[in-house]
Amino acid sequence: MTAEYRALSNSLIMWIACIPGVAIVIYQAYLIFKKSKNDALRIGLTKEQVSASIRSAAITSIGPCLVMITAMLALMMYDGAPFAWLRTNFIGSITYELQGAQFAADGIGIELGSAQMDANFLATACIVEAGGCVGWVIFSALFSDRMEYVQEKLAGGNMAAVPIIGTGALIGVYCSLTIDRVIPFGTQAYGVFAGAIAYTCIHFLDKKNPKQWVKEWGLTICMIIGMIVCTLIDMAKGVI
């Protein structure tokens, strides 16, 4: 990438342009947190139960946050720090963002990560990565409050089937996050399997001897184990 690109992608104007978007995300998180806490107390949960839930959620989020930081560092190599910070806060999918950067590079006929990356690439990447997610942003804005009716239609009026459909959707989401790490089979597949084995062990440990910290730290522990396994395999192969 050129010196012009590095200077522009990390310039003050880019930080100023990206700050409002991140501020909106933070404000939305605050509103959701405040409303959820108030509603929890309104429906009869005690303050101790609410505090325990908040603590568990905060601890459980450590693992995903580590992944997000790693994603942002990877994206910074191509989009610069401000835009990587914005996109990671908005979407959080390094796969999507890197695909967007690759599409932008292909569109203007350069190689991603090469010295050909300049201001034209930065502008194109910003448009492609931001514009590519407009569809689901609009859908969420228009139909999020109507998804209950969609659930009822899918269940065919049988409300007992709603939790089954929800569970199936959750399984599908997690499968979509892991299947592309397993097929084609590579180093990341070992990380997926290691995380699955770790979770199985934690699950049986919790059933045998329930502990609150196991529930709170389980996800983070599994993610870290998966990352360690992948790193060790890459080191053994001489990749890193």
Give the C-alpha separation, 181 to 68, whole Å: 17
Q: What is the mean pLDDT of residues 3-23?
A: 86
> Does position 30 have pLDDT exceeding 80, yes or no?
yes
- Are 105 and 17 found together in one domain? yes
Give the C-alpha separation, 126 to 90, whole Å: 13
> Does position 119 have pLDDT exceeding 70, yes or no?
yes
- Among 132, 156, 172, give the residue marking a domain's end: 132
pTM: 0.60
Spell out where the chain has E strands.
none
Q: Is residue 141 in some structural domain?
A: no
Q: What is the mean pLDDT of residues 2-17?
A: 84
- Are 127 and 150 found together in one domain? no
Q: Considering only 107-111, 195-199, 208-212, which range has the smallest mean pLDDT?
A: 208-212
Nearest Cα residue to 118 out of 9, 15, 10, 12: 9
Number of domains in the chain: 2
Q: Considering only 62-76, 124-138, 188-202, which range has the smallest mean pLDDT?
A: 62-76
> Residue 176 belongs to what domain range?
146-237
Q: What is the mean pLDDT of residues 150-179?
A: 73
- pLDDT at site 25: 85
Q: What is the mean pLDDT of residues 9-32?
A: 89
- Are 167 and 121 found together in one domain? no
**214 residue type, one letter:** V
Q: What is the mean pLDDT of residues 227-233?
A: 87
Q: How far is CA 152 from CA 136, 141, 142, in A?
A: 22, 20, 18
Other Cβ atoms closer than 10 A to 65:
12
- pLDDT at site 15: 92
Q: Is residue 140 in some structural domain?
A: no
- Assign 16 a pLDDT band (cuts: 50, 70, 90): very high
- Are 179 and 64 found together in one domain? no
> Does position 8 have pLDDT exceeding 80, yes or no?
yes
Environment class of residue 34 by beta-carbon count within 10 Å: exposed (0-12), middle (13-18) or buried (19+)? exposed
- Are 84 and 157 found together in one domain? no
Query: Up-side HSE of residue 213: CA atoms within 13 Å toward CB?
Result: 0
- Are 83 and 150 found together in one domain? no
- Chain segment 137-158, per-residue pLDDT in tens: 787 777 776 767 766 666 666 7
- Are 71 and 164 found together in one domain? no
- Among 82, 107, 132, give the residue marking a domain's end: 132
- Are 95 and 154 found together in one domain? no
- Are 9 and 112 found together in one domain? yes
Share of the chain above pLDDT 70, in %: 88
- Among 132, 158, 185, give the residue marking a domain's end: 132
Share of the chain above pLDDT 90, in %: 3
Q: Is residue 233 in some structural domain?
A: yes
DSSP label of 185: -
Q: Is residue 137 in some structural domain?
A: no
- Are 87 and 157 found together in one domain? no
